[in-house]
């Protein structure tokens, strides 16, 4: 085998390995995980080719006052959009609309169409409380 063919073969192998590492880090490596709590505003099953479960959590919070402008504290909502890959978790969330839920999620650097449209994927429900 000539030197050119060896260099070409090793270059192709290196590119394939680099591509595999990139795909793993971008779509399968768990960048972070955590817990979010708030009111489950919306939960749907949608998609053209891959049907996925998508949800929206509303987190109420306070926006602090700005000392220089003399502004006052106000209530502000934060929206947390997420996907659910596990059908059992999705079925439980379908019955929780309007309730306060605490959800554990995993954060990925990229979304896969068959896993959901969001980078945040909920994998379990920690608690559900009914508003009083």
pLDDT of 76: 73
This prediction has a pTM of: 0.80
Q: What is the pLDDT of residues 34-88, one digit of tens each?
A: 999 999 999 999 999 999 999 999 997 766 655 666 666 677 779 999 999 999 9
Distance CA 44, CA 50 (A): 13
Residue 101 tokens, joined: 């839920």
DSSP state of 27: I
* Residue 37: CB atoms within 10 Å: 14
């Amino acid at each position: 085998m000539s030197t050119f063919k060896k260099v070409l073969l090793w270059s192709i192998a290196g590119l394939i390995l680099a591509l595999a590492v990139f795909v793993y880090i971008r779509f399968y490596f768990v960048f972070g995980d955590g817990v979010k709590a708030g009111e489950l505003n919306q939960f749907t099953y949608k998609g053209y080719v891959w049907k996925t479960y998508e949800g929206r959590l509303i987190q109420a919070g306070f926006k602090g006052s700005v000392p220089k402008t003399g502004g006052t504290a106000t209530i502000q909502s934060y929206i947390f959009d997420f996907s659910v890959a596990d059908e059992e978790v999705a079925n439980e969330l379908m019955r929780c609309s309007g309730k306060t839920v605490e959800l554990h999620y995993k954060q990925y650097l990229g979304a896969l169409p068959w896993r959901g449209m969001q980078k945040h994927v909920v994998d379990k429900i920690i608690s559900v409380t009914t508003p009083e």
